[in-house]
């Protein structure tokens, strides 16, 4: 094989690999609710967006236990209906998988000299 052809194949396969990787790493979001498009999203959309926006869900995160405690809280205080065990499991599987507890923020706070002056900062008095 000519050297030129080898380069062509190498180039083409790396471009393809790049696009494939890009597709795998990007989470596809449902257009209206912004929920991650994956098994169970319809159950969440159908049962969890009647009283509030899905944003309240997508902006939150937590372990399965935390999600379950939120559901119990809404059932005890906000009129969320009892969910059939299988349906609740589907919803919890989805939330645990896609909105699991996040690691704490990785970004270090800015140094003081990079911030504007804080007018409310106590000066020790």
Q: Which residues bind ligand HEC (CB under 6 A)?
A: 47-48, 50-52, 56-57, 60, 70-71, 74, 78-80, 91
Specify the residue for token string 């790049």. 18
Please say whether the beta carbons of 99 and 61 come within 8 A: yes
**What is each CA distance from 86 to 25, 40, 98, in whole angstroms?**
30, 11, 18
Minimum CB–partner distance for residue 106 and ligand HEC (Å): 23
Comparison of 6 and 52: residue with beta carbon closer to ligand HEC: 52
- Minimum Å gap between C-beta 91 and ligand HEC is 5
Joined tokens for residue 20: 């494939």
Of the two residues 33 and 71, which places its CB atom closer to ligand HEC in the complex?
71
């Amino acid at each position: 094989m000519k050297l030129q052809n080898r380069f062509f194949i190498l180039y083409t396969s790396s471009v393809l690999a790049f696009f494939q990787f890009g597709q795998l790493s990007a989470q596809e979001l449902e257009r209206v609710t912004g929920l991650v498009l994956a098994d169970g999203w319809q159950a969440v959309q159908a049962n969890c967006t009647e009283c509030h926006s899905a944003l309240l869900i997508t902006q939150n995160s937590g372990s399965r236990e935390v999600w379950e405690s939120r559901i119990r809280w809404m059932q005890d205080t906000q009129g969320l209906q009892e969910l059939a065990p299988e349906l609740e499991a589907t919803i919890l599987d989805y939330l645990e998988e896609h909105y699991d507890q996040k690691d704490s923020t990785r970004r270090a706070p800015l140094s003081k000299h990079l911030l504007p002056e804080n007018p409310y900062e106590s000066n020790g008095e």
